[in-house]
Amino acid sequence: MSHIRRLLNLYNMSTTNLSAYDANRVPHAGGMKFDIIVSDWNSEVTFALCDGAVETLKKHGAFDKDIRVFHVPGSFELVYAAKKSCQCKNVDAVIVLGSVVRGGTPHFDYVCQGTTNGIAALNAEGVKPVIFGLLTTDNMQQALDRAGGALGNKGVECAQTAIRMVGFTCDIDENAYVAL
C-alpha cells in the first residue's frame, strides 16, 4: 500500500463514525455478564461512553442484572479495577472506559502508556477479554466527538466488541480439542 493511501486510511479513521457496525455480526448477549469500569476523570466524556456501552449491551439482549458498572478516580486506575473484575467468576468480559486529554506536560504520555500496557498485559493473560475504551486525544473536542458526537460513541464500539469476544471465547472453548 502506498504511503498516501495509508495516510488517507488514517484520515478516514479519524473522521468516520466508528459506532456504525453490522449488528448481524454481533451475537445475542442474553446470559452474558459484563463489568464496565469507568474513569471519573473527564466525566462529561466517560459517562457518555458508559451510557453508549450499556445501551448497546441491552440492545443486543444483555439483562440489567448482568451489567455491573464501577467507577475509579482516573484512567490509570482502570488497570487495577479490570484485574479485580477478571478475577470474578461471574464476569464474561470487562470493558474499560477512560479519557485522557493531552496537556502541557509529559503526564499524558505516562498515563496513556501505563494504561495501554496494563490492559494489554491483562489480555495476554487470557483470563477474560478486557476491552480497551481509553480515548487519548489532543483536546477535549476530539474526546467529545468520540463520546456521542460527530464521530460516534466509542462506548458503543467497546460493547459490541465485548459481546463478540465473549462469543469467540464460547466458540473456542466449545471447539477445544484434547491433545494426545
Burial classification of residue 52, based on how many CB atoms lie within 10 Å of its CB (0-12 exposed, 13-18 middle, 19 or more buried): buried
Q: How far is CA 149 from the centre of its chain?
A: 17
Buried b (16+ CB within 10 A) or exposed e, 85-104: bbeeeebbbbbbbbbbbeee
Q: Determine which one of 28, 60, 71, 107 is catalytic.
A: 107
Residues 6+ apart with CB under 8 A from 54: 36, 67, 69, 155, 159
Q: How far apart are the first and last CA of the chain?
A: 43
The sign of the torsion formed by the CA atoms of 96, 98, 102, 108 equals: negative
Among this protein's residues, is 107 annotated catalytic? yes
The residue length of the chain stands at 180
Q: Which residues are catalytic?
A: 107
